[in-house]
Amino acid sequence: MAKKNNDFDLVNLPIEAQDPSISAEDFVPTSADKQIHEQHFQTKPTTFFIDSMKRFAKNKSSVVAAVILGLLLILAFVVPAVESDVDKSMTSYATYLEPKLFDSGTGWWDGTKKCVDIALDPVSGLPDPTVYKENAIIGGKAGITRTGRKIRNSPNPYAIGGDVKFYIDRNTTTDLAFFRTNTFLTYKDPSKPMEQRQVIENENVVFDSSKETFGIKFAISNLDYPKEQYPELEFTDFSIAIYYNVDGGSDPYILKEYKKEDIKPSSEFMEIPDVSKQIRDNKDTEMTKFVNPHIAFIIKNQYEDIEYSIMINQLLFDTNGITNNPNLKVGLDEAQFSDANECLLRENKIDINISQDKYKQFINPTGWSSSSFMGLSNAVYESCTFVYDTYEAALGLTKDYPLGNDKLQSYENMGYFKTYLKNAGSSRYVEGSIGDVNRNTQSIKLEILNYDKCPIVPTDPEGDVYKIKNYDSYGWQIDVNILIYKYYGYSSMPRYIFGTDASGHNMNKYVFEGLRNSLLLGIITSAICFVFGLLWGSISGYFGGTTDLVMERFTDILSGVPWIVVMTLCIIKLGQSMLVFGISLCLTGWIGTAATTRTQFYRFKNREYVFASRTLGASDARLIVKHILPNAMGTIITGAVLMIPSVIFSEATISYLGLGLKGMSSLGVILSDNQKELITHPYLLIFPSIIIALIMISFNLFGNGLRDAINPSLKGEDE
Amino acid sequence: MVKYSIKRIILALVTAFIILSLTFILVKSIPLVVEAGSTTASKFAFFEKQVSLGYVISTNTPRSDLGPLLFSYKPQGAAMIYYYERPVLDQYVNWLGNIFRGDWGTSTAIKMNVGAMDIILERLPTSLIINIISVVISVPLGILLGIVAGLRKNTWVDHLISTLVMIFISIPSFVIITYMIYFFAFKAGALPMMWPNSNAPIEKRLLGLIIPVVSLSFGSICGYTRFVRAELCEVMSSEYLLLARTKGLTKNQAITRHALRNAFVPILPSILAEFIGVFGGSMILEGLYNIPGIGSLYIDALNKKDYNVLMVDMAVFTIIGLLAGIVLDLSYGFIDPRIRMGEK
Mean pLDDT of the region B38-66: 83
Chain A positions touching B318 (Cβ under 8 A) are 560-562, 565
Q: Alpha-carbon distance A533 to A514, whole Å?
A: 28
Judged against a pLDDT cut of 70, whether residue A73 lies above it is answered with: yes
Of B26, B110, B304, the CB nearest to A569: B26
Of A228, A649, A685, the CB nearest to B172: A649
Q: Alpha-carbon distance A498 to A687, whole Å?
A: 7
Judged against a pLDDT cut of 60, whether residue A42 lies above it is answered with: yes
Instruction: Encode pLDDT of A585-601 as tens digits.
Output: 899 889 989 998 998 88
pLDDT computed for residue B225 by the predictor: 93
**A231: closest CA of chain B, how far (Å):** 6
**B175: closest CA of chain A, how far (Å):** 7
The answer to whether the CB atoms of B166 and A701 lie below 8 A apart is: yes
pLDDT computed for residue B38 by the predictor: 67
pLDDT computed for residue A553 by the predictor: 86
The answer to whether the CB atoms of A653 and B172 lie below 8 A apart is: yes
Q: Alpha-carbon distance A698 to A65, whole Å?
A: 4
pLDDT band of B342, cuts 50, 70, 90: very low
Mutate which: A561, A574, A587, A670, vs B, most B CBs within 10 A: A561
**A391: closest CA of chain B, how far (Å):** 25
The answer to whether the CB atoms of B26 and A572 lie below 8 A apart is: yes
Task: Specify the DSSP element, H or E, that contains B229.
Answer: helix B202-236
pLDDT computed for residue A512 by the predictor: 93
Task: Specify the DSSP element, H or E, that contains A481.
Answer: strand A475-483
Q: Alpha-carbon distance A245 to A251, whole Å?
A: 7
**B38: closest CA of chain A, how far (Å):** 6
Q: Is the Cα dihedral B21, B24, B28, B29 positive or negative?
A: positive
Q: Are B320 and B277 in contact (CB under 8 A)?
A: yes
Task: Specify the DSSP element, H or E, that contains B315.
Answer: helix B307-335
SS3 annotation, A589-612: HHHHHHHHHHHHHHHHCCCHHHHH
pLDDT computed for residue A718 by the predictor: 41
Mutate which: A303, A656, A680, A714, vs B, most B CBs within 10 A: A656
Of B170, B234, B302, the CB nearest to A659: B302
Chain B positions touching A657 (Cβ under 8 A) are 283-284, 287, 299
Bridge partners, residue A239, by sequence: A257, A298
Q: Are A241 and A287 in contact (CB under 8 A)?
A: no
**What residue of B is the nearest CA neighbor of A696?**
B170
**What residue of B is the nearest CA neighbor of A235?**
B199
Q: Are A560 and B325 in contact (CB under 8 A)?
A: yes
Give me the half-sphere count of Cα atoms (radius 13 Å) on the Cβ side of residue A490.
19
Q: Alpha-carbon distance A405 to A477, whole Å?
A: 6
pLDDT computed for residue A716 by the predictor: 44
Give me the half-sphere count of Cα atoms (radius 13 Å) on the Cβ side of residue B230.
19
Mean pLDDT of the region A480-493: 88
Q: Alpha-carbon distance A86 to A92, whole Å?
A: 10
**What residue of A is the nearest CA neighbor of B14?**
A557
Judged against a pLDDT cut of 50, whether residue A1 lies above it is answered with: no
pLDDT computed for residue A526 by the predictor: 93
The answer to whether the CB atoms of B227 and A718 lie below 8 A apart is: yes
Q: Which residues contact B69 (CB under 8 A, 6 or more apart)?
A: B62, B82, B83, B84
Instruction: Encode pLDDT of B217-256 as tens digits.
Output: 988 999 999 999 988 988 888 888 899 989 998 988 998 8
Bridge partners, residue A115, by sequence: A386
Of B170, B197, B307, the CB nearest to A696: B170
pLDDT computed for residue A235 by the predictor: 79
Q: Alpha-carbon distance B179 to A333, whole Å?
A: 48
Chain B positions touching A678 (Cβ under 8 A) are 178, 181-182, 186
DSSP B232-247: HHHHHTSHHHHHHHHT
pLDDT computed for residue A350 by the predictor: 45
Q: Which residues contact A146 (CB under 8 A, 6 or more apart)?
A: A120, A382, A383, A384
Q: Alpha-carbon distance A279 to A72, whole Å?
A: 71
Mean pLDDT of the region A57-69: 90
Instruction: Encode pLDDT of A554-579 as tens digits.
Output: 888 888 788 888 888 888 888 877 78
pLDDT band of A633, cuts 50, 70, 90: confident
What are the backbone dihedrals phi and psi of residue A152, each rounded to the nearest 5 degrees, phi first? -130, 160
Chain A positions touching B226 (Cβ under 8 A) are 718
The answer to whether the CB atoms of A556 and B11 lie below 8 A apart is: yes
Judged against a pLDDT cut of 70, whether residue A284 lies above it is answered with: yes
The answer to whether the CB atoms of B30 and A572 lie below 8 A apart is: yes
How far is the CA of A705 from the CAs of A444, A599, A699, B155, in angstroms? Answer: 73, 21, 10, 19
Size of interface A-B (CB pairs under 8 A): 152
**What residue of B is the nearest CA neighbor of A372?**
B37
The answer to whether the CB atoms of B199 and A234 lie below 8 A apart is: yes
pLDDT band of B131, cuts 50, 70, 90: very high
Q: Alpha-carbon distance A524 to B325, whole Å?
A: 29
pLDDT band of B143, cuts 50, 70, 90: very high
Cβ neighbours around A558 below 10 Å, total = 17
Instruction: Encode pLDDT of A317-366 as tens digits.
Output: 888 888 888 778 877 877 888 888 877 776 554 444 444 444 444 444 56
pLDDT computed for residue A2 by the predictor: 46
How far is the CA of B325 from the CAs of A539, B35, B273, in angstroms? Answer: 25, 37, 7
Of A171, A231, A682, the CB nearest to B182: A682
**What residue of B is the nearest CA neighbor of A651?**
B172
A215-220, strands of its sheet edge to edge: A270-272, A215-220, A308-318, A163-168, A373-377
Q: Alpha-carbon distance A580 to A570, whole Å?
A: 7
Chain A positions touching B322 (Cβ under 8 A) are 560
Nearest to A330 by CA among A181, A204, A190: A190
The answer to whether the CB atoms of B197 and A564 lie below 8 A apart is: no
Phi and psi based region of residue A239 (left: phi greater than 0; alpha: psi -120 to 50; beta: remaining): beta
Q: Alpha-carbon distance B195 to B177, whole Å?
A: 13
**A703: closest CA of chain B, how far (Å):** 12
Q: Are A655 and A670 in contact (CB under 8 A)?
A: no
**A129: closest CA of chain B, how far (Å):** 27
pLDDT winner (highest mean) among A18-27, A206-215, B131-140, B286-295? B131-140
Mutate which: A175, A176, A250, vs B, most B CBs within 10 A: A175
Mean pLDDT of the region A454-481: 84
Chain A positions touching B201 (Cβ under 8 A) are 228, 231
Mutate which: B72, B197, B233, B320, vs A, most A CBs within 10 A: B197
Mutate which: B270, B302, B303, vs A, most A CBs within 10 A: B302
pLDDT winner (highest mean) among A417-426, A544-553, B75-84? A544-553
Q: Are A350 and A155 in contact (CB under 8 A)?
A: yes
Instruction: Encode pLDDT of B184-221 as tens digits.
Output: 988 888 888 888 877 777 888 899 999 999 998 988 99
Mean pLDDT of the region A115-139: 84
Judged against a pLDDT cut of 80, whether residue A702 lies above it is answered with: yes
Chain B positions touching A649 (Cβ under 8 A) are 172
**A689: closest CA of chain B, how far (Å):** 7
Judged against a pLDDT cut of 60, whether residue A719 lies above it is answered with: no
A180 or B27: whose pLDDT is higher? B27
DSSP state of A459: S
Q: Are B256 and B250 in contact (CB under 8 A)?
A: no
Q: Alpha-carbon distance B212 to B208, whole Å?
A: 8
The answer to whether the CB atoms of B307 and A572 lie below 8 A apart is: yes
Mutate which: B7, B32, B171, vs A, most A CBs within 10 A: B171
Chain A positions touching B310 (Cβ under 8 A) are 568
pLDDT computed for residue A76 by the predictor: 93
Of B201, B283, B322, the CB nearest to A231: B201
pLDDT computed for residue A7 by the predictor: 53
Of B166, B201, B284, the CB nearest to A697: B166
**Helices marked H in A170-317:** 275-281
Task: Specify the DSSP element, H or E, that contains A79.
Answer: helix A60-82
Mean pLDDT across chain A: 81
User: End-to-end distance of chain A based on CA atoms, in angstroms?
Assistant: 68
The answer to whether the CB atoms of B284 and A657 lie below 8 A apart is: yes
Q: Which residues contact B122 (CB under 8 A, 6 or more apart)?
A: none
The proportion of chain B whose per-residue pLDDT surpasses 90, expressed as a percent, equals 17
Mean pLDDT of the region B54-58: 86
The answer to whether the CB atoms of A232 and B196 lie below 8 A apart is: yes
pLDDT computed for residue A19 by the predictor: 61
Phi and psi based region of residue A395 (left: phi greater than 0; alpha: psi -120 to 50; beta: remaining): alpha
The answer to whether the CB atoms of A174 and B37 lie below 8 A apart is: yes
B91 or A5: whose pLDDT is higher? B91
**B330: closest CA of chain A, how far (Å):** 16
The answer to whether the CB atoms of B307 and A307 lie below 8 A apart is: no
The answer to whether the CB atoms of B198 and A305 lie below 8 A apart is: yes
A664, burial (CB in 10 Å: exposed 0-12, middle 13-18, buried 19+):
middle
The answer to whether the CB atoms of A685 and B302 lie below 8 A apart is: no
The answer to whether the CB atoms of A557 and B292 lie below 8 A apart is: no
pLDDT computed for residue A192 by the predictor: 62
Of A573, A649, A659, the CB nearest to B26: A573
Q: Are A113 and A393 in contact (CB under 8 A)?
A: no
Predicted TM-score (pTM) of the model is 0.77
Q: Alpha-carbon distance A296 to A238, whole Å?
A: 10
Q: Are A165 and A223 in contact (CB under 8 A)?
A: no
pLDDT computed for residue A77 by the predictor: 92
Task: Specify the DSSP element, H or E, that contains A698.
Answer: helix A683-710
Chain A positions touching B290 (Cβ under 8 A) are 171
pLDDT computed for residue B135 by the predictor: 92
A223 or B161: whose pLDDT is higher? B161
